[in-house]
Amino acid sequence: MSLQAPFPQYVLGLDLGTSSVKVVLLDTESRAVVDSQIQETKAEVSCMEGDKRQEQDVAQILSALHQCVAALPRERLCKVRRIGVSGQMHGLMLWKSQEDTPSCLSPVLGCMWQNSEAGFTFQPWRTSHLVTWQDGRCSREFLDSLAQPDSHISLATGFGCATIFWYMRNRPQCLEFFNTAGTIHDYVVAVLCGLKKPLMSAQNAASWGYFNTRCGTWNLKILRDSGFPTCLLPTIAKSGAIAGKTVREWYGVPEGTEVGVALGDFQCSVYSCMTEKTDAVLNISTSAQLSFALTSAFLPPAQPNPIASVAYFPYFDGKYLAVAAALNGGNVLASFVGMLKQWTQELGQEIPQSTIYSQSIHAALNVARTDLVVKATVFGERHSPDQLASVTNISPSNLSLGHVTRALCRGIAENLNSMLPCQLLIESGVQRIIGSGSALTRNQVLQQEVEKVFTLPIVYGKTVDSAVGVAMVMLDRK
């Protein structure tokens, strides 16, 4: 179905992030964002000191979502023709589907619909907290004790299936009340569409563990043999498919509006700025990611390679993204600035971090190149967690602020190139790189060093945005 029309129509994009919710309205004809809202969720649930749990209050997340949608122009919301939803991958929440509930409740979901002056809204009803992707309760020892998944993606703490296994062994009573599970964005889609059993895209399923992306199925036999409650697992749907239609009017969005199956925020962020099939996307914010879409003929390896620096994420239309996800990006520069601030304080001076940062960049712009070498892996890497940073080739002439800052920026670029070499991009048919992320787009020195290391043309100006990306996906789906 084409969404093109002679009169304004819109796609509503929702992204439920780790710390905030963002919504956008995308014009179906111009593909331009005409309205957007963002709201911090402030949903973290306090835990005892030393507790590795990371949980969030679902009611707080939904409150932020409703505030964002309600703030959009109602005259445009009534012309929304599709809704796309993305969110933080890996995380787990539980709820109960049931047939016989009071009329104010969804007949099939753990939610309560309410009618206010602003329109219908929904609240969670007897759901669990959201256990986020940052959850650390599954130790390496615990993960090693689990059955080996039939998947090319290594199991990690914070993955939905791993968290359910943890509950089975440590708090089985927490699972007894619930019969349904999914991510927070799967839940929102299920509520909007009134689904008895939630749908989960291959993108989200792959981030839960125990999912084979080659055949698109859960590892049911492996899970059942381990006593896993497979009844909790959502039904798999194609990424980009329509999950259903809204069962109620929602802040002006008409009842019967098509809603897409929930998608991964990373895939949607790439989709938001990858305008050509031959593009690669380099995003450097706190961390850094370099990715490009592989051909439809590519299949990932059957088993994970824990020392591989490139991962393969399900994308769209049966394709995969090759992703070098570095733990070292803008956080390295932030650590450097923090170190300089601490030094100046110890010397009796109080200089704002913003001043230290801007002066460091200015000094580096006056240094065309440096022979100082900084290995910028301050935070290690997933494929090499014990890797540390180092500084070599030190001489009296290259110890200035400008030399060190430029060498640090080059180290960030070279680390990414070591994980996913520019030559491999070229051999894979990549013709240009889309550069995005605050740490890259606001740092001319880092841009210069990236351009030296990656010899492909680099285009700046596009913003990685999951809410925009998921709206674009829904606009492009037939």
- pLDDT score of 117 more than 80: no
Per-residue pLDDT tens for 94-107?
998 765 455 444 54
Average pLDDT value for the chain: 92
- The closest of 249, 248, 339, 258 to 84, measured between CA atoms, is 258
CB atoms < 10 A from the CB of 253, how many? Answer: 27
Q: In 10 A of CB 411, how many CB atoms?
A: 23
Of the options 3.40.710.10, 3.40.50.720, 3.30.70.260, 3.30.420.40, the CATH number for the domain spanning 10-267+467-476: 3.30.420.40
| Span of 225-229, 275-279, 381-385, 411-415 with lowest mean pLDDT | 381-385
Q: Which helix (DSSP H) or strand (DSSP E) does residue 65 occupy? A: helix 58-70
Residue 399 has pLDDT above 90, yes or no: yes
Q: What is the pLDDT confidence band of residue 108, given thresholds at 50, 70 and 90?
A: very low
Tens-digit pLDDT profile for residues 25-63 = 999 999 999 999 999 999 999 876 667 889 999 999 999
> Which residues in the chain are classed under CATH 3.30.420.40?
10-267+467-476, 276-462
Q: Judging by DSSP bridges, how do beta strands 279-284 and 432-436 pair with one another?
A: parallel
pLDDT digits (tens, 9 = 90+) for 210-265: 999 999 999 999 999 999 999 999 999 999 999 999 999 999 999 999 999 999 99
> pLDDT per residue over 273-305, tens digit each?
998 999 999 999 999 999 999 999 999 998 888
Identity of residue 137: R
* Alpha-helix runs per DSSP H in 259-391: 265-271, 330-346, 353-365
- The percentage of residues in the chain with a pLDDT greater than 70, rounded to a whole number, is 95
- pLDDT at residue number 228: 97
Position 1 scores a pLDDT of 45
Model pTM score = 0.88
Q: What is the mean pLDDT of residues 154-181?
A: 94
Outline where 194-329 has alpha helix (H). 202-206, 220-225, 265-271
Three-state secondary-structure class, residue 30: coil
Task: Kindly give the pairing relationship between strand 199-201 and strand 235-237.
Answer: parallel
CATH code, residues 276-462? 3.30.420.40
Lowest-confidence segment of 16-30, 110-124, 199-213, 403-417 by average pLDDT: 110-124
CA distances (Å), origin 251, targets 68, 70, 72, 86, 194: 10, 6, 9, 19, 17
List, in sequence order, every residue forming a beta bridge with 180; answer none if it has no partner: 95
Whether residue 205 contacts residue 31, with contact meaning beta carbons closer than 8 Å, is answered with no
pLDDT computed for residue 444 by the predictor = 97
Cα 253 to Cα 78: distance, rounded to the nearest angstrom: 5
pLDDT score for 443: 96
Average pLDDT over residues 428-432: 96
Residue 407: C-alpha distances to residues 252, 257, 376, 455 (Å): 53, 53, 9, 18
Reported as a single tens digit per residue, the pLDDT across 300-356 is 998 888 889 999 999 999 999 999 999 999 999 999 999 999 999 999 999 999 999
Q: Would you say residue 181 has pLDDT above 80? A: yes
